Structure 1
């Protein structure tokens, strides 16, 4: 029995610089690190090996220096290290990278493949599902617990709306969530022999065959011009927040002026599905078709001509349907949500059709018949402008990037019911407390470690009265005070409210990444030198406990 872990060496994103003149990222002198998510996958593999006696492999694709993270993996307890290194691999995007990695999977033929949920430099989350698809392995993302049975694996999966348990037949491929474990310390004194090196003899795929290309890059300035205010001014700004943000009405979308289709996907979340269809309606004169797993009743007013409702479809069966639709119809562009299942479905489609896919975009624009995609990278500080070389071009987009535009006309609906999925069986599902609002409200409170545990229920009470939602920093989530689905930041979610109220948050770079697209930010911190004020439009120098007390008094009166 074998377990293969795929790991990646990444640059220290906090040290990345951008040259304005050459439009290039400066990597010289930047320390290379073991991607922290992949380190957790290594830990999971070692723990499974210790419990079940599996033989373990770690593999990485990169230059010779990447051998160091393989040696570190072996210092943690992995039995074998394999480096995929060849100049022909340079410049590989997620699609080609997945082809190269799948070639190795087929050589090693492991029972289980593990990897982190994403790499912190790119954050696409596409390589695991694409590699699994190309390798013919059953796949689930966001896995936080693994128990091995005789011919299957029982896994716990952290989902956008709760936690589920699945039985997955072997062979299986999982990307693990950061919640799965705490990786052990690496002892640098342990001597490791050189790792095995594989070159391009294992696959015909080369980086030059990548179906996407980076057309441009530019820095995203995350600093704001902070102005210190008093509590009364804060109340004034709070009352102004959210006006006009619930969406605008548009009486109609015109009849298609071409024979082509701009395809949208509606996956799990009605709000982002409406955002996507609205953006498409603003961008095209093609026929707008949306394929999704959301009851059409929850999508009333969606800007599209046709909605195909796939009831009880798994990610794999939905991907197969979407791929079939693309083959049989003149689809020019595809846009889908960058949520947990949306990313997996689109990755499966890209892998099955050989198409380029850009993940986690913050904007798209149409240029000469192509969809130009704007994607954050390196912690969100740099925006890459990406074009697809293949047709249709495809992208997933972050929630909250586009304004919803409702239409009064009804779209045509086709309902298709699926058969049971053979890829996995759902054993148990627990949804989040329904009283907790999703992080898509006009006003969001962000809770940091400066907020006392006893004050958190008070913030929830305030949020309930004004129609706001509540998120938190990673440290607060790690303390168990807020569900992990409400973690805001680099390792959580990005939010884009009209107003973000940061209470007791110090302002680490990891958190700032998640609030870059907020309309306005107000920070409350008793330390006037706190970094959060550099990333705020307004600031109040005040103890969090006192601020929450005053706000409760005001709201209750």
Structure 2
């Protein structure tokens, strides 16, 4: 059995600088790193090889410098290394990168392909599913365990609400989660074999074929003006953040004269589905159709002309239905949610149809009939402005970026029952702790290592009483005090609540990149010099236990 791992060398995102005059990213002197998710994929391949006696390959597409991570992969135990290096590959976006990688996969013909779930510089999560679609491999994202059977693989997939165990037919490509393992230390004295270099001779795809283009870049200011407040002032800010919008915004949805369709995808999450439909309605000028897997009763007041409800769908059948819909109708634009399944589904559609796709956008504008897409990169500190060359153009959007507006006019509903793919069999679903809630509430508490383990139950109880949720830093998650689904930061989630209350955390760059889009941030730390205060609007110099005890008494008074 052959296992191939796709890896990427990335710049240290915390060291990246931006020249405001030239609008260029300054890479000079920036250390290059082994993308941490990919390193875990290499570790997973080596462990599988040790257990099942597999032949292993590692592949990277990039400059000669990328040989460093290929050497490291072989020192970890990989058998063969391949570097895809050619000037023709320069400027490749996710689509063309996936085309080149899939060409090599079909050339080597491995049984299993592994990759990290994303790269920390781009965070698109597009390359693994697009590569799988182009190579004809079954795909599962965010995998935390792998067991090889005779003609299939059993994997556990980390999802928003728990763990799903699946049996997947081979060949298959899996992107791995942060949870899958702890990569071994690299032996500097280990023997390294030769690296095979492939130029563009094995594929016709070039970077210039990319269906998306970056038309502008600008930097985001990552610091805030901290103001020290009292506990009573904190309660006032919390209460203001908890208040519902005084008056729901409504809009009138007319019937457009054009037959052109602006298509939205409603995947798993009603709130972001309503945000997407509202943004499409705000742009206007199109017939709005939403296709989704959410029951119509959970989308009351959604701004669209028609909702197509896909019953009994999985990612494969959902993607195939949307592809057929696009081919048969005059679809100009597609917006999807940037959640786990939304990213996978949109990537499969883009790969199958040859469409440009921009992931995880924080804003969408409309110019000359094209979507102008604003995407964070390099940890969120830099925004790339992207345009697609294809029709329809596609983007996934981050939750919490658009205001929800309702319409009083009922939309037409079409129910479609689909058949799930025969290549995936669901074996088991394990829910997470029922005290944990998705990080989409108006108030989110962030737990750092300064919070004692005995105080976590109190925070969860407080959150439950005020309709808030609880996340944590990577170190807290590594200590297994909070499930990994609730990790906030560069290797976790990015959040955008009304109010983020950071308790007992230092404020490392790896964490603060995940809270840039919070409306207000309050930091609670007994160290007045803690870095988190530089990234907060308000602060309290206070012991975490004392703060939690005082807040607990307040909500239980």
After TM superposition, the score normalised by the length of structure 1 is: 0.98
Report if aligned partners of 2:359, 2:397 keep a CA contact under 8 Å in 1. Answer: yes
1:245 deviates by: 4.4
Tell me how far apart the structure 1 counterparts of residues 280 and 383 of structure 2 sit (CA, whole Å): 21
Asked if residue 441 in structure 1 is aligned to residue 441 in structure 2, the reply is: yes
Q: Output the CA distance in 2 between the equivalents of 1:74 and 1:391.
A: 42
Residue 452 of structure 1: aligned partner: 452
Q: Distance in 1 between matches of 2:372 and 2:177?
A: 30
Deviation at 1:247, TM superposition (A): 7.8
1:403-422 equivalences in 2 (<5 Å): 403-422=403-422
What is the rounded CA distance, in whole Å, between the counterparts of 1:445 and 1:435 in structure 2? 13
Q: State the distance in 2 between where 1:307 and 1:354 align.
A: 25
Aligned to 1:141: 141
**How many angstroms apart in 2 are the aligned matches of 1:74 and 1:10?**
18
The equivalent of 1:89 in structure 2 is 89
Partner of 2:466: 466
Structure 2 contact 316–420 (Cα < 8 Å) conserved: no
| Deviation of the 1:373 alpha carbon | 0.4
Indicate if the aligned counterparts of 1:3 and 1:57 stay in contact, CA closer than 8 A. yes
Does structure 1 residue 48 correspond to structure 2 residue 48? Answer: yes
Contact 2:504 2:544 in 1 (8 A): yes
Equivalents in 1 of 2:29, 2:299: separation in Å?
Answer: 50
Alpha-carbon separation, structure 1, partners of 2:421 and 2:72: 38
Distance 1:511 1:224 in 2: 15
**Does residue 76 of structure 2 align to residue 76 of structure 1?**
yes
Q: Aligned residue for 1:10?
A: 10
CA drift of 1:453 comes to 1.0
- How far did 1:469 drift? 1.4
- Check conservation: 1:10, 1:120, Cα contact below 8 A: yes
Q: Which residue of 2 aligns with 1:167?
A: 167
User: Are 1:269 and 2:266 matched, yes or no?
Assistant: no
1:370 alignment counterpart: 370
CA RMSD of superposed structures (Å)? 1.2
Shift of 1:251: 4.8
Q: 2 CA distance for matches of 1:246 and 1:288?
A: 27
Task: State the alpha-carbon separation in 2 of the partners of residues 537 and 459 from structure 1.
Answer: 21
Residues 206-355 of structure 1 correspond to what in structure 2 (within 5 A)?
206-245=206-245, 248-355=248-355
Q: Which runs of 4+ in 1 moved over 6 A?
A: none
Alignment match, 1:503: 503
Deviation at 1:242, TM superposition (A): 3.3
Distance in 1 of aligned mates of 2:432 and 2:271: 17
Q: SS of 2:307's equivalent?
A: strand
Aligned to 2:360: 360
Q: Quick one: distance in 2 between partners of 1:430 and 1:405? A: 35
Q: Judge conservation of contact 1:458–1:552 (CA < 8 Å) in 2.
A: yes
SS of residue in 2 equivalent to 1:241: helix
How far apart are the structure 2 equivalents of 1:405 and 1:375? Answer: 23
**TM superposition shift of 1:34:** 0.7
Give CA-to-partner distance per residue, 1:327-356, whole Å, 9 cap, x none: 111111100001111101101100111000
Q: Deviations over 1:238-295 (max 9, x none)?
A: 1221334498331532222422110000001111111111111111220110001111
Distance 1:443 1:273 in 2: 20
SS in structure 2 of the partner of residue 21 of structure 1: coil
Is 1:475 the equivalent of 2:475? yes
Alignment of 1:124-135 (within 5 A): 124-135=124-135
2-structure distance, mates of 1:245, 1:340: 28
Q: Which residue of 1 aligns with 2:109?
A: 109
Give the Cα separation in 2 of the matches to 1:234 and 1:419.
51
Q: Number of residue pairs matched?
A: 557
Aligned to 1:21: 21
C-alpha separation in 2, matches of 1:32 and 1:476: 27
1:424 is aligned to: 424
Assess if the C-alpha contact under 8 Å between 2:74 and 2:193 holds in 1: no
- Kept in 1, the 8 Å contact 2:439–2:486? The answer is yes
Question: Deviation at 1:434?
Answer: 4.2
Deviation at 1:435, TM superposition (A): 4.3
Point out the more displaced range, 404-413 or 134-143.
404-413
- The alignment partner of 1:154 has SS state of strand
Gapped regions of structure 2 (runs ≥ 5): none
Q: TM-score, normalised by structure 2?
A: 0.98
Note if contact 1:246-1:404 (Cα within 8 Å) is conserved in structure 2: no
Where does the alignment leave 5 or more consecutive residues of structure 1 unmatched?
none
Bigger shift: 520-529 or 312-321? 312-321
